[in-house]
Structure 1
Amino acid sequence: MNSPLLSERSMVFERGDPYEVSGYVNQHVGNHCIRLPAVGHPLASLSHRKFASLDLCQISYGGSVRVTSPALENIFHLQILLKGHCLWKGREQEKFLAPGELLLINPDDPVDLTYSDDCEKFILKLPVSLLEATCNEQRWLKPSEGVRFTQNRYRLQELEGFVGLLGLVCQEAESDLILPRISEHYTQIIASKLLTLLKTNVSREELCAQAASFERIAHYIDSNLKQDICVEQLASQAHISLRSLYALFERYAGSTPKSYIRRKKLEQINACLSDPSCSVRNVTEIALDYGFLHLGRFSESYKIAFGELPSDTLKHRV
């Protein structure tokens, strides 16, 4: 891949001191350390643009430089090799990147990259908050540990339309007139495109399908309130993993499955205690009926939920 994405208009350093360039990168693109070759005097070049919540960077160190970082913390790095070669050392793996290849670095991934003398890269910095907000807007399910890309390396030719989209973003970033609404729109498209084209831990199941799954589970719970329902049963009923089950309840019930079941049991007991037509001899019997074996804890939970003891509800029924 020979064509640059940023033009000379975005040049910040041209044949400059690599350590000065590294300091600028630390400030704007991501924390790292560089190790220069023992001989020679490499000269670095860097172009940079800020575009809404994105940072666009094009960099070459002019020598066989090693770049390391323990982790990027709250940002993702998308790196495209434009020229030369780059050795990437990941978790228990080591690969050479060639021009036209893309590397996606997660926030908690250690960084260990060695540039060839002629290596030039384009780096797109994306905040974690952008990808999480995109998942929320699209109603996609993301695991509790956050968004992660599960495959790091791609060839650009595999990602239909992505290079063209990056070119448009760079063109907009270098425009003399940048409109905030347009730049925000482009960043959302970038985030959506990445979450769609690349392999992630995000479930992009349609919202209606998710809602239908939750409705089926809720109906199963309502029909079996007097039973001892475990989360494994619910996951089996819905044909989903435990992780997906918890994500489903977080989205549609705002709680864990166990808390939801407990609340539903309490609501049903409250309805029975309040209804004169419902045959209830005493509080102990109905509590045990719904699986509350510790009566003291049951009364406490009931009072927190309804503001009075279950015995008081029974007394007040008309």
Structure 2
Amino acid sequence: MVFRLLNEKSRIFAHADPYAVSDYVNQHVGSHCIRLPQTYGAEASLSHRTFGDLDLCRISYGGSVRVTSPALETIYHLQLLLSGHCLWRGGPEREQYLTPGELLLINPDDPVDLTYSDDCEKFILKLPARLIEQVCRDNQWSMPREGVRFASRYNLDDIEGFGNLLALICEEAESEQAVPQIAEHFTRIIATKLLAQVANNVKRLPQDEHSASFERILHFIDSNLQQDISLEQLAELARVSPRTLYGLFEKHVGSTPKHFIRQKKLEKVHACLSDPSVRVRNITEVALDYGFLHLGRFSECYKSTFGELPSDTLRRREA
């Protein structure tokens, strides 16, 4: 592979204690535990960048190490093996060795059990589940109730242009003039490309007579997120009964109208708090602008959706 995935500017650790690297990964990339054999001298290295809602990580533990986790819960991990080999235990009687150029896509509810070889190095892309769900909603693809699941193992060459795309994302992430809108754009491309080119359980159904009406509904919601949007308004816009309206939302986005609108409002608040170009006086003002009157409940919903409090998002953009 000739793709350049993170350079020295992104280096966090070099020749480091594997447990120190593991602690950092737990904070920024995904919760896990590591186990090393009763030998010492392993020197780990790690490079890391945050790019919008993505986390990019290049990691080597410098020795044989077993990495386990019950599940990643709200994130997908895309792991590209750069060198060495990795033993993946995907369930009873399901052990497979990954070799350089192979990809492992770990779904949010998949347990993690990986053993690195001494010379193993990986590139890991962390993708929040809500971004995959958002692309499905925007494209009106039918999401299964159990959530979107991808096939686990494939070759980099199976996804046309994916290696170059990862390299370009790393280059943009390391740019001195990073632009939030560019990060958002590339994030959508990554999520869309995975959904379109990697085997998964999402159904991309042909449009029916209600599709145009539902598209009008989505446009109306996006254009009026600072307003109180009633179910009666949406039903009248789509020229359907409230019962049919619920059916449309269930079919196209796997959600109720109320939950979908709240999710879109939360995403807009998150975008405002994340983007340095958007002037924010305080979190309360932004929350009230989008109709969140109970601030304690708003903070709980926000943390449940994005994995951090609104104050954490605002603090991170100001760092």
Say if 2:119 is the partner of 1:81: no
User: In the TM superposition, what whole-angstrom CA distance separates every residue of 1:137-190 from its partner, at most 9, and x where no partner exists?
Assistant: 1111101221111x1000111111111111111110000011111110010000
Q: Could you tell me which amino acid in structure 2 is paired with residue 97 of structure 1?
A: L
Query: Is residue 2:7 matched to residue 1:7?
Result: yes
The CA deviation string for residues 83-140 of structure 1, in whole angstroms up to 9 with x for no partner, is 0000000023110000000000001101000000000000000001110011111111
Q: SS at the partner of 2:63? A: coil
In the other structure, the counterpart of 2:107 is: 106
- 2:134 aligns with 133
Aligned equivalent of 1:25: 25
SS in 2 for 1:79: strand
Structure 1 residues 168-247: aligned runs within 5 Å: 168-208=168-208, 211=211
Local SS of the residue matching 1:142: coil
State the secondary structure of the residue aligned to 1:15: strand
**Residue 211 (structure 1) shift:** 4.2
| Aligned AA (2:119) | D
Q: Map of 1:274-293 to 2, 5 A cutoff?
A: none
CA shift, 1:210, in A, is 7.6
Q: Given the alignment of the two structures, is residue 67 of structure 1 paired with residue 67 of structure 2, yes or no?
A: yes
1:240 counterpart residue number: none
Identical amino acids, percent of aligned pairs: 63
Deviation at 1:40, TM superposition (A): 2.8
Does the aligned pair in 2 maintain the 1:141–1:247 contact within 8 Å? no
Which residue is equivalent to 2:147? Answer: 146
Closer, same or farther in 2 for the Cα pair 1:62/1:138, shift >3 Å? same
Count, aligned residues: 223
Residues 40, 158 of structure 1: alpha-carbon distance in 2 compared, 3 angstrom cutoff: same
Structure 2 residue 47 is the aligned partner of structure 1 residue 47: yes
Alpha-carbon distance in structure 2 between the residues aligned to 1:253 and 1:30:
27
Structure 2 unaligned residues grouped into runs of 5+ = 215-245, 257-319
TM-score, structure 2 normalization: 0.66
Counterpart Cα distance in 2 of 1:134 and 1:98 = 30
Structure 1 SS opposite 2:191: helix
Q: CA RMSD in A?
A: 2.3
Alignment partners' CA distance in 2, 1:158 and 1:253: 28
2-structure distance, mates of 1:160, 1:204? 20
Corresponding letter in the other structure for 1:156: L
Structure 1 residues 32, 253: closer, same or farther in 2, change over 3 A? closer
Question: CA 1:253–1:145 in structure 2 vs 1: closer, same or farther (change >3 Å)?
Answer: closer
Report if the CA contact (8 A) 1:3-1:82 is conserved.
no
Structure ID, larger Rg: 1
Alpha carbons 1:86, 1:116 under 8 Å: kept: yes
